[in-house]
Amino acid sequence: MKKHIISILGCGWFGLALAKKLIELGYFVKGSTTSEEKLATLQTENIQPYLVDFTAENMKADPAFFEADVLFICIPPKRNSTELHDYPQKIKSILEAAKDKSKHIVLISSTSVYSDENKTVNENSETNPDTDSGNVVLAAEKLFKMLFPENYTIIRFAGLIGPDRNPGRFFAGKSNVPNGLAPVNLIHQADAVGIAVKILEKQAFGRIYNACSPNHPAKMDYYTNAAQTTGLELPHFIAEKKDWKIVESLNVPEFLGYEFDPSTSLRVTI
């Protein structure tokens, strides 16, 4: 049986975890990095390494990287303001390079495309970002839909937690942290990888998926508990509920049948 070829553009915190899981499951994985030093790291994980670097004006990539059954684009926008605003153009260059080479493309996006409008949002809700990063991520999504109107797959991740991203550190020792009663929207790395794998297994392309834990404890409860369990100084929150949202997914249960790992879901409950 022919191994499916998966290309992962951006083997960072999420991309590398996904690549390792796919190798374990028997997929042939090509992985990209912008750093020559990281090529050897990818190789030791049995990932075929490629040096791929996209800027808004320039592209440095071996076209063979894009020859894949599925291409995952896992590059979040940079925080630097110039690079942040170049993000949609960078995604456009990547999509054009992948056209006619990658059978399916999955764009990793973010739930920041929804604003805090004090309500529950799902994949059918209107997108109305209230941050700069949310705006550029939504612009990239729109470019994707325009270039691939019949076949676009988008995963919108909530806040990612997991190895090396201990949520207890986010507010440890801080006082008068606002909005303590607002619900949190988070997803553990294991579930983020699990949802991506499920899309491959079920060939469930052509949709938008909100990837967020179904549990939404209050910010003050969750982060106080996270600091406590890791021995960090406790934060103090203002018990108020302003500017919030609850991100839910209709498509993850309906089209993927994915069940969140109880051991990771417990990390976003009290």
pLDDT above 60: residue 129: yes
- State residue 264's pLDDT score: 67
Backbone angles phi and psi of 42, in degrees to 5 = -60, -40
With contact defined as beta carbons under 8 Å apart, do 261 and 191 qualify?
yes
- State residue 70's pLDDT score: 98
- For residue 45, tell me if it sits in a domain: yes
CATH of the domain at 87: 3.40.50.720
- State residue 159's pLDDT score: 95
Termini Cα distance of the chain: 45
The pTM (predicted TM-score) of the whole model is 0.94
- State residue 59's pLDDT score: 81
- For residue 270, tell me if it sits in a domain: no
- Tens-place pLDDT, residues 49-97: 999 988 767 788 999 999 999 999 999 998 777 778 899 999 999 999 9
pLDDT above 50: residue 194: yes
Work out the mean pLDDT of the chain and round it to a whole number: 93
Q: Give the H or E element holding residue 121.
A: strand 119-121
- For residue 223, tell me if it sits in a domain: no
Closest-CA residue to 140 (of 93, 89, 70, 84): 89
pLDDT above 60: residue 98: yes
- For residue 234, tell me if it sits in a domain: no
- For residue 72, tell me if it sits in a domain: yes
Q: What is the mean pLDDT of residues 16-23?
A: 98
Confidence label for 266 from pLDDT (cuts 50, 70 and 90): very low
- State residue 56's pLDDT score: 66
Backbone angles phi and psi of 205, in degrees to 5 = -85, 170
- For residue 229, tell me if it sits in a domain: no
- For residue 22, tell me if it sits in a domain: yes
- Tens-place pLDDT, residues 134-179: 999 999 999 999 999 988 999 999 999 999 998 999 999 999 999 9
Taken in order 187, 247, 126, 130, is the CA torsion positive or negative? Answer: negative
pLDDT above 50: residue 192: yes
- For residue 68, tell me if it sits in a domain: yes
* Domain membership of residue 118 as a residue range: 5-160+187-214+246-261
Long-range contacts, stretch 21-29, CB < 8 angstroms, 24+ apart: 21/193, 21/197, 22/197, 22/200, 23/47, 25/197, 27/3, 27/200, 28/3, 28/4, 29/5
What's the number of domains the chain is made of? Answer: 1
Structural tokens at position 4: 């499916």
